[in-house]
Amino acid sequence: MEVTWAPRSEAYVTPVAPDTVGVAILSPVRGGFTEQLAAFPELAERLAGAAPVSTVRGGGPLRQRTTGRVAGRVLLAGDAAGYVDALTGEGLALALTTGAELVRCLSAGRPADYDRAWARTSRRSRWLTESLLWARNRPVLGRRIVPAAVRAPWLFAAAVDQLAR
């Protein structure tokens, strides 16, 4: 995956076939795909002339906040239970670990305990992600994240690894 940052956006380019890539752009700025892509001139130039294989799929906002994950006999898991940001890619790992807590609470006949178990299990991931977003949204710090990751890829890998735990 290739990640590119602009002042107010992030672009993700992911190979999906030998001759096809998926392009995702995350931004708080409203606008269509073409307008969003303009924030990434080098990427736009590389994609110039490429024929889309599908229509634009998706929209936001992506952040999901919930006031609770338990309502009677309904328990929320995965992204529906809430997540901070897609940037870190922790969604699947978090869904599996919190899902295990959901099963444990149901097996014990204590579904109401799931909210507390979810909060405990996801605390580290939420804290790390919130910290990264806080730094990303500070102009002085945000523009230093990628150069720091380039200079110390082991540090970046360690941070990402912590999110996957």
pLDDT given for residue 86 in this prediction: 64
pLDDT given for residue 140 in this prediction: 85
For residues 34 and 100, membership in a common domain is answered with no
Residues contacting 143, CB < 8 A, separation 6+: none
Residue 22's region, left for phi above 0, alpha for psi from -120 to 50, else beta, is: beta
For residues 105 and 156, membership in a common domain is answered with yes
What pTM was estimated for this model as a whole? 0.65
For residues 41 and 76, membership in a common domain is answered with no
35: domain range? 2-47
61 preceded by cis ω (within 30°)? yes
Residue spans of the chain under pLDDT 50: none
pLDDT given for residue 69 in this prediction: 92
pLDDT given for residue 52 in this prediction: 92
Flag whether 54 is in a domain. no
Flag whether 56 is in a domain. no
Nearest to 33 by CA among 42, 41, 24: 24
Nearest to 136 by CA among 6, 38, 30, 14: 6
pLDDT given for residue 90 in this prediction: 67
pLDDT given for residue 131 in this prediction: 84
Flag whether 60 is in a domain. no
Burial class from Cβ neighbours inside 10 Å (0-12, 13-18, 19+) for residue 11 reads buried
The number of distinct structural domains making up the chain is: 2
Is-contact 117 105, C-beta < 8 A? yes
